[in-house]
Structure 1
């Protein structure tokens, strides 16, 4: 059957729309993909047919790649008028995207996949809404961490200075973080989104700053779907393997595997925070492990860190 490519929109909030790029096969198992901060869904696909979304679609999955509010092709774009943050992502956007795809796939369970901070959004949503978690068959995270506890020069520059300090100066000047304009990231961030993620990354307790919901307690009291955590060897602060491990550990009891993408663990490269998804060798090197995890061949995916 021919691979579908569709541009879809999901309404949320007050007249806002989330963009979904559908790349897949009719009748295939549905997959939701979500990007991290200062990013959009293009981390998962290219127009020329590359990326994890195309890789999964080519073997029969029905893939939906999201642009979160104001990013990518979602409307309206982030501006000084934007009032949404990660609370809206967790409590409104992910549930809306999930429900939309469930309707399109006639009620089938979904697989959830995220890059970087998208994993924090996803685990928060799954911990807060056990009903949604029961409708998710499996989860895969690439470089996902909630807090940055490692100490090195990269962390000092990229997190402590650029993210925690300089970004707040820019937000005071523009009313939002113009990350795309200054080439800090692929897309912009709202004031609230930046502030909320900054607080968690410092790190602060895994508690919602809007309503005080305790995600860590909810995760400990429930059980996430099976999660495969990929960490990259050449990722000094944006998804350091130790921070990925801490994120897995604070997410409560659940079936999981932490796999390090490194030469010393048998892979072709010491991948970084972006290349673990975009490198030309990824489809032959470690993307097949994603297939094993989604197909419940979890004994083939080894914990190695």
Structure 2
């Protein structure tokens, strides 16, 4: 076979495999789609012009003034929190009486498209803090008429919350719950190597791993992927749930976000992209209520580092909760099974709900206070009777 025919044969083979893979991925997305009522989709525009999509679930009987922002982590999307019950914190909290706003960061899912002049591979964590967070908080407050919002973040979502709370938006947050968020980065050679490989694989357009995850999703539960224990405790997540998670939740990673993680790991830091803002040091200045939560076998946010994080937080109202067999939980928790483990609906969701309820403003109280305020204003403005 001459070179020209060989090249033609190779090109046709690659094209055929690409078509087969595309059909396979589309079939996987349909077969493993989430079978729940779709949330309401709202749009909000950041100051730099990037339009974000927010997925909203409203309480059938709203009990609390503050909405809850549910913020996903690296390589994930809004399905982190808005999944099928019982593995859906959005559903659990709306049942409790909270309006929930599930975030998708710029470049992710329905917030993928960038405006002219901006490019997704250039996105940094700083952009999520200074651009996305203010727009998302403003949307949630405008939609609910609330004065403040709760921030619940998993992994990177919690880190963005920590950084946001240190800036001007902090006064609009009623509390922050960080779930598996590694403010201190473990000296784990494997994790360091994975971040290095990811940062290089992301050149030049980012690391779009959702295609790979959807390709492999139907095989999970039958085989265990190498290194999967870094992300989850596979024994804790039912195979059917694993397949749905990989088919729906995985998302791409920006090149610069991966570079920023690489910097944090190399220098044991939690700081802005240019290094000028030390977000870790800023934790000592926080005053809002903070809940630090994590898993006993989480390699990305191990218990030792979570305890150090808790000690550093300056808030007078703070709490640390590490889930695992040592404290009587069903199983030792990793990183992803904090949300999708079989024990999560029974052990983790009630703790999140209870912490929020204890610090939320009952809607009846807000209405009564406003009514009393109007009454006082009316009395003060009433003219005195004329002298006879």
Bin the TM-score by the shorter chain: 0.7 to 0.9
Structure 1 Cα separation of the partners of residues 160 and 267 of structure 2: 16
Structure 2 Cα separation of the partners of residues 277 and 100 of structure 1: 25
Q: Does structure 1 residue 167 correspond to structure 2 residue 198?
A: yes
C-alpha spacing 1:146/1:217, structure 2 compared with 1 (3 Å): closer
RMSD: 2.7
- Structure 2 equivalent of residue 139 of structure 1: 176
User: 2:146 is matched with which residue: 94, 104, 107?
Assistant: 107
- Structure 1 equivalent of residue 81 of structure 2: 44
Q: Does structure 1 residue 219 correspond to structure 2 residue 272?
A: no
Deviation per residue, 1:4-38 (Å, 9 max, x gap): 93111211255422121111227443100101111
Structure 2 Cα separation of the partners of residues 243 and 19 of structure 1: 33
Structure 1 Cα separation of the partners of residues 270 and 300 of structure 2: 18
Structure 2 Cα separation of the partners of residues 182 and 239 of structure 1: 25
The structure with the greater share of residues assigned to strand is 1
Q: Does structure 1 residue 202 correspond to structure 2 residue 274?
A: no
C-alpha spacing 1:81/1:54, structure 2 compared with 1 (3 Å): closer
In 1, are the aligned partners of 2:289 and 2:315 still within 8 Å (CA)?
A: no
The structure with the greater share of residues assigned to helix is 2
TM-score of the superposition, structure 2-length normalised? 0.67
Larger Rg: 2
User: 3-state DSSP class of the match of 1:271?
Assistant: coil
C-alpha spacing 1:137/1:31, structure 2 compared with 1 (3 Å): same
- Structure 2 equivalent of residue 303 of structure 1: none
User: 3-state DSSP class of the match of 2:184?
Assistant: coil
User: 3-state DSSP class of the match of 1:46?
Assistant: coil
- Structure 1 equivalent of residue 325 of structure 2: 263
Q: Does structure 1 residue 245 correspond to structure 2 residue 307?
A: yes
Q: How does 1:62-77 map to 2 (within 5 A)?
A: 62-76=99-113
| Structure 1 residues not aligned, in runs of 5+ | 299-305
Q: What count of residue pairs does the alignment treat as equivalent?
A: 285
Shift of 1:47: 4.8
C-alpha spacing 1:98/1:297, structure 2 compared with 1 (3 Å): closer
User: 1:177 is matched with which residue: 174, 197, 207?
Assistant: 207
TM-score of the superposition, structure 1-length normalised? 0.84
User: 2:126 is matched with which residue: 87, 107, 113?
Assistant: 87
User: 3-state DSSP class of the match of 2:202?
Assistant: helix
In 2, are the aligned partners of 1:148 and 1:203 still within 8 Å (CA)?
A: no
User: 1:55 is matched with which residue: 85, 92, 96?
Assistant: 92
Deviation per residue, 1:167-209 (Å, 9 max, x gap): 122123x431223234498111111111112212334443323
Shift of 1:227: 1.3
User: 1:24 is matched with which residue: 58, 65, 78?
Assistant: 58
Shift of 1:245: 2.1
Between 1:193-202 and 1:258-267, the stretch displaced more is 193-202
Structure 1 Cα separation of the partners of residues 197 and 282 of structure 2: 33
| Structure 2 residues not aligned, in runs of 5+ | 1-36, 214-227, 229-245, 361-388
Shift of 1:271: 1.6
